[in-house]
Amino acid sequence: MRTVTLKRVVVTGLGALTPIGNDVNTFWNSLKSGTGGAGPITRFDTTEFKTKFACELKGFDIEKFMEKKEARKMDMFTQYAMVAAQEAVEHAGLHLDGVDKTQIGVIWASGNGGMQTFEDQIVEFTQTNFVPKFNPFFIPKLISDIAAGQISMKYGFMGVNYCTVSACASSSSALVDAFNYIRLGKANAIVAGGSEAPVTRAGIAGFNALKALSTRNDDPSTASRPFDADRDGFVMGEGAGAIILEEYEHAVKRGATIYAEMVGGAMTADAYHLTATHPEGLGARLGMERALEDAELKPEDVDYINAHATSTPLGDVSELKGITGVFGDHLNKINISATKSMTGHLLGAAGAIEAIACIKATQFDIVPPTINTGTLGEGIPTNLNLTIGKAQERTVNVAMSNTFGFGGHNAIVVFKKYKA
């Protein structure tokens, strides 16, 4: 029987494009200060929409990163991916002429792919009496895997390359897969993450039809309020997050700066409902238990949990039930926070940017806050430290990030403060 010695996997580069910052440092500073990103939608006329606000990117110009003719070949979700990946590759100091590109891969996530591309083409199709004169870039711009392909082509990375699609758990799934490839010795480094561009007419109307979005149009800045008694749904966000995961010895040999260590991850299913989480959080609980087992950690080792907590009435409660089932009496020593209160919900990209929040928390011993939460809602335990209102300084040796998606997909990742 073949035995495999698992390799250490470390974080050597980060990239972020978010509604509260167009790079990692700005994003982290906004998280620490409790800056929210919600406001009226500027991209289209919302007169007939139930929800008229979102967490949009601000001051973003793709032509600062690529020529217009190249950008036109990409949907926004791919543009976002390219920008975040570029920051991460540069941050990691990956000198392309000094690495074996056949051993570097890309595992990139998107829950929806090219929503704007699909919407635009179908609108044009109906306006031309259904004459099928489609743009030749329609399919390449639309498909969810194209971002991974575009990143690999830009840098010449010839290792593993594919897309994970598990709704709002997508980019956490990408991180788990990348982690496993590297620790099994099948890659030296992987660009892992996700991007999403769902602030479109179809995106907003579709989630409105599910009654998933907040309709707090009179006060969008406080609409994302996880755990609050008056929460009424999530706030749509957009953007991308990229993380360079790398085999430890490879990183040390090339003199890379190491920001954290990824030590565990797990994926499970609720096997319960199309869009609702299990009311007792059973799938989430199983995922957290397996992630800790994978990391060879105990519940009492965890200092911080970045909760999925989207600000929906049912989801927030069920997640906390799952967390309580795993951590029990240790819960009063753990910080929990919901950074979606600031970024909105980036769907398939949520896991990546929330993993970055966890990595930064272990690096700087700061837990970002949950904002907009006043009176706790029914079913929300009052004895938990939900890091409400203000960031808290504390030792963060281990941080866990939860992500859950429609279809009952759960993905959990665990990071540890780096020690040589």
- Both tokens of 79, joined, read 């543009």
Tokens found for residue 354: 């929330």
> Which H/E stretch holds residue 193?
strand 189-196
Active site residues: 168, 308, 345
> 1: part of which helix (H) or strand (E)?
none
Strand 161-164 relative to strand 104-109, pairing: parallel
Closest CA to 310 of 193, 226, 217, 406: 226
Written as one letter, the residue type at 182 is I
Give kind and range of the element (H or E) at residue 197: none
DSSP 62-101: GGGTS-HHHHTTS-HHHHHHHHHHHHHHHHHT--GGGS-G
**360, 26 contact by CB (below 8 A):** no
3-state secondary structure 309-375: CCCCHHHHHHHHHHHHHHHHHHHHHCEEECCHHHHCECHHHHHHHHHHHHHHHHHHCEECCECCCCC
* DSSP 8-state symbol, 408: T
CA 273 to chain centre: 22
- Determine the Cα–Cα distance for residues 239 and 81; give it in Å rounded to an integer: 8
Greatest Cα-to-Cα distance within the chain, rounded to the nearest angstrom: 65
Kind of pairing between the strands at 304-306 and 104-109: unpaired
Give percent helix, percent strand, percent coil of the chain, each to the nearest 5. 40, 20, 40
Cα Rg, the chain, nearest whole Å = 20
Chain-centroid distance of CA 50 in Å reads 26
